[in-house]
């Protein structure tokens, strides 16, 4: 079965640079979530999108922005990178139940994009 696809899997940047992470949800999943997991920490919710509109907002820094496109894929844009942004960034998707996919409650996670800021 198709899973959530994230790219790139690994990314190395320097301080003050920018980075873009991409997420392709499972087909017929219309809701996308972004999480940040620092070393030894639990996943922290950043932001989510439903039908291309921001659905929920967590602890996303002002330096970060995200959007969802018409094909439901999402991109997380990070600017003015700091050392503390080094983390594993997860994307998850779920069907809301209104776009053809059955809403079973759980989120389906990708393998993550590991960002290292030097």
Partner 1 sequence: AQSVAQPEDQVNVAEGNPLTVKCTYSVSGNPYLFWYVQYPNRGLQFLLKYITGDNLVKGSYGFEAEFNKSQTSFHLKKPSALVSDSALYFCAVRGTFMDTGRRALTFGSGTRLQVQP
From the list 13-21, 60-68, 71-79, 107-115, the region that binds partner 1 by CB under 8 A is 107-115
Q: Which residue is it, tokens 């320097």?
A: 14
Written as six digits, the tokens of 8 are: 């790139």
Contact between 106 and partner 1 (CB under 8 A)? yes
Within residues 10-69, the interface with partner 1 by CB under 8 A covers 31, 33, 41-45, 48, 50, 55-56, 58
Q: Which is nearer to partner 1, 17 or 51 (CB)?
A: 51
- DSSP helix/strand/coil, 59: coil
Smallest distance, Å, CB 17 to partner 1? 23
Whether residue 35 is preceded by a cis peptide bond, meaning omega within 30 degrees of 0, is no
C-alpha to C-alpha distances, 23 to 40, 42, 57, nearest whole angstrom: 23, 20, 17
Smallest distance, Å, CB 108 to partner 1? 7
CA gap 32, 49 in Å, rounded? 5
| 13 bridge partner residues | 117
Residues that bind partner 1 (CB under 8 A): 4, 31, 33, 41-45, 48, 50, 55-56, 58, 88, 90, 92, 94-98, 103-112, 114
């Amino acid at each position: 079965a198709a899973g959530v696809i994230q790219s790139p899997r690994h990314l190395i940047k320097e301080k003050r640079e920018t980075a873009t992470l991409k997420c392709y949800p499972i087909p017929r999943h219309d809701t996308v979530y972004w999480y940040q997991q620092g070393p030894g920490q639990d996943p922290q919710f950043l932001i989510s999108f439903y039908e291309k509109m921001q659905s929920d907002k967590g602890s996303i820094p002002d330096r970060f922005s995200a959007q969802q496109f018409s094909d439901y894929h999402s991109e997380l844009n990070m600017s003015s990178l700091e050392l503390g942004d080094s983390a594993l960034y997860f994307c998850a998707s779920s069907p809301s139940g209104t776009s053809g996919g059955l809403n079973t409650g759980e989120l389906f996670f990708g393998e993550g994009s590991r960002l290292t800021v030097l």
